[in-house]
Structure 1
Amino acid sequence: MPGIDECLLEAMTLPGARGAAIVDWTSGLALGSVGDPAGGDHETTAAETAEMARAAAEFAVFAPDPAEPGGTSAAGSPEGPAVEDLMVATRTAFHLMHFVETTFDSSAFLYLWLDRRTGNLALARMRLRDLSVRLVLG
């Protein structure tokens, strides 16, 4: 099972990958980062992507329907946030954030900055999901 560094290096093998990070969305701190920072530096990128992830994880609009099996609230569910992925498309890039599920109360996500011309959004989503399952935090 890969640790943070191995996970990030594997994410950077994706076509079009420009930068990657594992970020704690409650604190806005990067647990690790590699490649070019989208926001000018890795700390800014981590803080700004964490703001977006935190909003998506905590806003009720993204919570599952309580009538569905296992449905509670976004931030309060035992499984973690209801949101699985966030994707932002700009004219030149894709920004992907995939929430990492763990056995403990995790508030981390994998972030990938992908060049829009050379990247493959579907492949990147599948690879981030695979990496998050195998990732060892701690």
Structure 2
Amino acid sequence: MNIDTALKEAMTITGAVGAALVDYDSGMSLGSIGGGDWLNLEVAAAGNTEVVRAKQRVISALKLNDEIEDILITLHRQYHLIRLLTTGKRSDSKLFLYLVLDRERANLALARHSLKAIEADLTV
């Protein structure tokens, strides 16, 4: 599936508020959907790029032979889920899917499962 279809699919996840596909080399969003006045997805994409980079530096410093699957940030009213694209031929990808969920309506386990399925079908 293409970027637009993947983002639309992400918004069907129960509790989804916004979604973006982000290049964490540049911090730029390749596409986004949702958000609103209180959730600027462009700013969030750039900010979460720093989160991914920092975690990768820590993994490198600890000499862990592992990769990030996803990063979860929990707020009082929201979940922010960052899923690095690593499926198949994209193992060297510098992209992540970013999903913001309303914590009261979302099922985190199902959201992670759905985002993984979207990643597997995404063609960039």
Find the partner of 2:97 among 94, 110, 118: 110
TM-score normalised by structure 2 residue count: 0.88
Q: What amino acid is the match of 1:57?
A: Q
> Could you tell me how far 1:42 is from its partner in structure 2?
2.5
**Structure-1 residue corresponding to 2:7:** 8
2:38 and 2:118 map into 1 onto residues whose CA distance is 23
More helix by share: 2
2:77 and 2:34 map into 1 onto residues whose CA distance is 17
**Structure-2 residue corresponding to 1:100:** 85
Structure 2 spans left out of the alignment, 5+ residues: none
Count matched residues: 122
Q: What amino acid is the match of 2:9?
A: E
Structure 1 spans left out of the alignment, 5+ residues: 66-70, 75-81
SS of equivalent residue, structure 2 residue 21: strand
Larger Rg: 1
**Structure-2 residue corresponding to 1:46:** 45
Q: What amino acid is the match of 2:82?
A: M
SS of equivalent residue, structure 1 residue 119: coil
Cα deviation 1:5-45 (Å, max 9, x = unaligned): 00000000011100000001111100110001586423211
Cα deviation 1:39-70 (Å, max 9, x = unaligned): 642321110111111111232378674xxxxx
Aligned residues: CA RMSD: 2.1
1:7 and 1:38 map into 2 onto residues whose CA distance is 23
**Structure-2 residue corresponding to 1:78:** none
Report the CA distance shift for 1:114/1:99 in structure 2 as closer, same or farther (over 3 A).
same
Q: What amino acid is the match of 1:107?
A: K
Report the CA distance shift for 1:39/1:55 in structure 2 as closer, same or farther (over 3 A).
farther
2:104 and 2:41 map into 1 onto residues whose CA distance is 23
User: Which region of structure 1 is more displaced relative to structure 2, 97-106 or 53-62?
Assistant: 53-62
2:108 and 2:63 map into 1 onto residues whose CA distance is 25
**Structure-2 residue corresponding to 1:35:** 34
Identity %: 39
